[in-house]
Amino acid sequence: MLIIPAIDLKDGQCVRLKQGLMDEATVFSNSPGEQARHWLAQGARRLHVVDLNGAFAGKPKNERAIKEIIDAVGDDIPVQLGGGIRDLDTIERCLDDGVSYVIIGTAAVKNPGFLHDACGAFPGHIIVGLDAREGKVAVDGWSKLTGHDVIDLAKKYQDYGVEGIIYTDIGRDGMLSGINIEATVKLAQALIIPVIASGGLSNIDDIKKLCAVESEGIMGTIAGRAIYDGSLDFAAAQAEADRAATS
């Protein structure tokens, strides 16, 4: 089980949002590169980076900060990047810059043909981010709720050849209210590709609960606000996940 630190970028700074609201941003660092090195030193094995401005604008907006992060970790650990990725040229540029996995969210829902083409052009590098509230997928920085069922869409994207699904319960994101274990397991059981849990991770108990269902197809979880405000010790969380995997 991977515990994956999140670095959310807004105006070149590392921030955390509550339920995706840009005006509810808390700045945690002015140096994305230093933040990336910190998590690497703590034992992170992957980083989750989101260009928040890009997610709202529909194209990357924090490219300098993203490059700082990639330069900081080098080839030591993979970086997965989402936010404003809407075309094949952007994917190619991200991968050329050193990003390992590109996360496609809104564009996957609105333009499934693009996702299909992306999986064909860049096999092994495409992850889909599905953000949902009560089982229905949201798009455009969570501002619009669609009628699409999250499991139905995930199955379709699995057939396209995506590497995995990041599932976020947007009602819990940034609220430290606990991972929606039931919904995450239900999704993972319906798929053969791995699922990464996101939204609401709050403490070591959440890690233990996720580890208990890892065998259902949950490969990791994204850690955000909890590891920044101290309610979850990142190194202890990864150690717990490693211990559970060998017990």
Look up 8 and say whether it is catalytic. Answer: yes
Residues in the chain: 247
In this structure, which long-range contacts are made by residues 231-235, counting pairs with CB atoms below 8 Å and at least 24 apart in sequence?
231/176, 231/202, 231/203, 232/201, 232/202, 232/203, 232/204, 232/206, 232/207, 233/204, 234/3, 234/5, 234/39, 234/42, 234/43, 234/44, 235/42, 235/43
- Say if pTM beats, i.e. exceeds, 0.85: yes
The secondary structure of residue 157, as a DSSP letter, is H
Kindly name the residue from 8, 51, 169, 173 that is annotated as catalytic: 8
CA distances 217 to 62, 190, 197, Å, are 32, 9, 10
pLDDT tens-digit series, residues 63-121: 999 999 999 999 999 999 999 899 999 999 999 999 999 999 989 999 999 999 999 99
pLDDT given for residue 176 in this prediction: 57
Query: Digits of tens for pLDDT over the chain (247 positions)?
Result: 999 999 999 999 999 876 667 777 889 899 999 999 999 999 999 999 999 999 888 889 999 999 999 999 999 999 999 998 999 999 999 999 999 999 999 899 999 999 999 999 999 999 999 988 888 898 876 667 888 999 999 999 999 999 999 998 887 655 556 788 999 999 999 999 999 999 889 999 999 999 999 999 999 999 998 999 899 999 999 999 999 999 8
**Pairing assessment for the beta strands 13-18 and 21-29 based on DSSP bridges:** antiparallel
The answer to whether 5 and 44 are in contact (CB under 8 A) is yes
Look up 76 and say whether it is catalytic. Answer: no
Q: Which residues pair with 198 in a beta bridge?
A: 168
Kindly name the residue from 51, 131, 173, 206 that is annotated as catalytic: 131
Q: Tokens for 85, please give them.
A: 């990725």
